[in-house]
Amino acid sequence: MSKQGVTPQSENFSDWYNEIVYRADLAARSPVRGCLIIKPYGYEIWEAIHNSLDRRFKETGHQNAYFPLFIPESYLKREAEHVEGFSPELAVVTVAGGKELEEPLVVRPTSETVIGEAFSEWIQSYRDLPLLINQWANVVRWELRTRPFLRTSEFLWQEGHTAHATHEEAEAETLQMLDVYADFAINEAAIPVIKGLKSNIERFAGALRTYTIEGMMRDTRALQSGTSHNLGQNFAKAFDIKYLDEQNEQQYCWTTSWGMSTRMIGAIIMTHGDDQGLRLPPKVAPYQVVAIPIFRKEEEEAPVMEKLMNIVKDLRAAGIRVHVDDRNQSPGFKFNDWEMRGVPVRLEIGPKDVEKGNAVLVRRDVAGRDAKQFVSQDGIVKTVQDLLDDVQASLLADATAFRDANIHDVSSYDEFRQVIDGGGWARGWWAGSDDNERQIKEDTGATLRCIPLEQPGGTGTCFYSDEVAQSVALFAKAY
């Protein structure tokens, strides 16, 4: 058990995860099955994700809009492949305003259909292209087995939807947004995701190509953390999204969609957490620093608090998010509490520190004695800033080392099975069929996570089918 009574990761990762979500006050259970209450400490992580992505979307020329929560049932039937993917998960409004509705309304599981219909009206000519829209919204997919943040019946996400004149432009957009997701994941969430292409079996219903970023969680399972779809002309044909080209001829548009959700909060928890609880990357942490006053005698309180609050004021003026824990609890209790809740840096000030002009800084990412340092109050803003940068970088380095240590190259199915059974990710040359892929999943529980964009080059022999393969693929057990 951890100091806070949380089941250790090493003992039972799944229990650890479920406990930490509630113990760290990220979320609370709700009265509706499969729906979560996101508490402020969890919601602030979502705000950080929202703000980081929204800035990137706007920098790449996208605008936000808002489309209705409800979708007429008939809409979902227009794109046959698409509806198949969603129908068992739909929540349906049949009564509204005290009356049975003539046509039931589906609570959006995604907005492709209603946005497709809107695009068909908004787009007339090549001058209207590209159309680059994003929506921040809640969506509902009724789930039988739910896990907080990872799989809930309602979740928050953003969904980008764009229309283009050519396949090339749509493909460039799809890859650009994949890069945006990867950039956010790596440089803000400190998750060293791998970018790649989904297989036929794993791609989004109705898409031409689905790209993904895959992260390795601390139990070595893969988590799909964001996807970007080149929808080809499938949705444009289903929803009649056409434009007049420069030669005055009608053409179908090429569309894309891409999304990232509150699932990313789960990815952050599971990438960085340890036996003591959360470890939050400074860039997405609600509190980057927790400041704790240390005193025993009553007369020590005033000078300690005064000094502490002066430093806190300076830190905040520099844009650092600081929480002051002045609860009527022992320092030890507070240390354990904030360690469990993953605050990147702890600042302590005691009577001796006031006297000597010192302070204690403790970093969360490092265990044991090395975590603690005594620093001067002079220049402490810079010291803390540098330490936060260091924690951010070290969490990424740590996750990258963990990832790389658990990806193994395989050249035969025997090797593959050993790697998967041992909890690793298997990387090997792949030329298998859809049926081969399904058989592997049945045999081992592993799925083809992606064909990484970064390839060794050349060709090789497929570890499963022995045929000549053009690329390597990554397989793993996944969430």
Q: Which residues bind Zn ion (CB under 5 A)?
A: 110, 112
Q: Which is nearer to a copy of itself, 145 or 369 (CB)?
A: 145
Part in contact with a copy of itself (CB under 8 A); list of ranges 26-34, 179-187, 274-282, 385-393: 26-34
**How far apart are the C-alpha atoms of 329 and 465, rounded to whole Å?**
63
**How far apart are the C-alpha atoms of 80 and 234, rounded to whole Å?**
10
Q: How far separated are the first and last CA of the chain, in Å rounded?
A: 25
Residues 248-287 that bind a copy of itself (CB under 8 A): none
Q: Which is nearer to a copy of itself, 131 or 387 (CB)?
A: 131
235 part of the interface to a copy of itself, by CB under 8 A: no
61 part of the interface to a copy of itself, by CB under 8 A: no
Inter-residue contact 477 to 420 (CB < 8 Å): yes
Nearest to 311 by CA among 363, 360, 364: 360
The amino acid that residue 319 corresponds to is: G
Judged by beta carbon distances under 5 to 8 A according to partner kind, the member of Zn ion, a copy of itself, none in contact with residue 30 is a copy of itself
Cβ neighbours of residue 260 under 8 Å, at least 6 residues apart? 49, 53, 157, 158, 181, 184, 225, 226
Q: Which listed residue (61, 88, 357, 445) binds a copy of itself by CB under 8 A? A: 88
144 part of the interface to a copy of itself, by CB under 8 A: yes
CA distances from 436 to 197, 415, 448, 466, 473 (A): 18, 16, 11, 12, 13
**How far apart are the C-alpha atoms of 146 and 153, rounded to whole Å?**
7
Q: Which is nearer to Zn ion, 9 or 227 (CB)?
A: 227
Judged by beta carbon distances under 5 to 8 A according to partner kind, the member of Zn ion, a copy of itself, none in contact with residue 110 is Zn ion
456 part of the interface to a copy of itself, by CB under 8 A: no
Nearest to 336 by CA among 277, 270, 287: 277
87 part of the interface to a copy of itself, by CB under 8 A: yes
Q: Which is nearer to a copy of itself, 124 or 412 (CB)?
A: 124
Question: Least distance to Zn ion from the beta carbon of 85, Å?
Answer: 8
**How far apart are the C-alpha atoms of 439 and 436, rounded to whole Å?**
5
**How far apart are the C-alpha atoms of 2 and 415, rounded to whole Å?**
36
85 part of the interface to a copy of itself, by CB under 8 A: no
β pairing state of 242-244 and 250-252: antiparallel
Decide: helix, strand or coil at residue 105: strand
Place of tokens 């995604």: 110
93 part of the interface to a copy of itself, by CB under 8 A: yes
Q: What φ, ψ does residue 293 adopt, rounded to 5°?
A: -75, 140
The amino acid that residue 32 corresponds to is: V
Within a 10 A sphere around the Cβ of 476, how many other Cβ atoms? 27
User: Which H/E stretch holds residue 129?
Assistant: none
Nearest to 227 by CA among 204, 205, 200, 253: 204
394 part of the interface to a copy of itself, by CB under 8 A: no
Residues 318-337 that bind a copy of itself (CB under 8 A): 327-328
14 part of the interface to a copy of itself, by CB under 8 A: no
Within a 10 A sphere around the Cβ of 4, how many other Cβ atoms? 17
Decide: helix, strand or coil at residue 140: strand
Residues 97-116 that bind a copy of itself (CB under 8 A): 97-98, 104-105, 107, 114
Q: Which is nearer to Zn ion, 110 or 134 (CB)?
A: 110
126 part of the interface to a copy of itself, by CB under 8 A: no
Judged by beta carbon distances under 5 to 8 A according to partner kind, the member of Zn ion, a copy of itself, none in contact with residue 292 is none
Judged by beta carbon distances under 5 to 8 A according to partner kind, the member of a copy of itself, Zn ion, none in contact with residue 112 is Zn ion
Q: Which listed residue (14, 15, 22, 37) binds a copy of itself by CB under 8 A? A: 37
Question: Least distance to a copy of itself from the beta carbon of 45, Å?
Answer: 11
Q: Which listed residue (11, 15, 84, 121) binds a copy of itself by CB under 8 A? A: 121
Q: Which residues of this chain interact with a copy of itself, rule CB under 8 A? A: 28, 30-32, 35-40, 43-44, 46-47, 63-72, 75, 87-98, 104-105, 107, 114, 117-118, 121-122, 127, 133, 137-138, 140, 142-144, 153-154, 156, 327-328
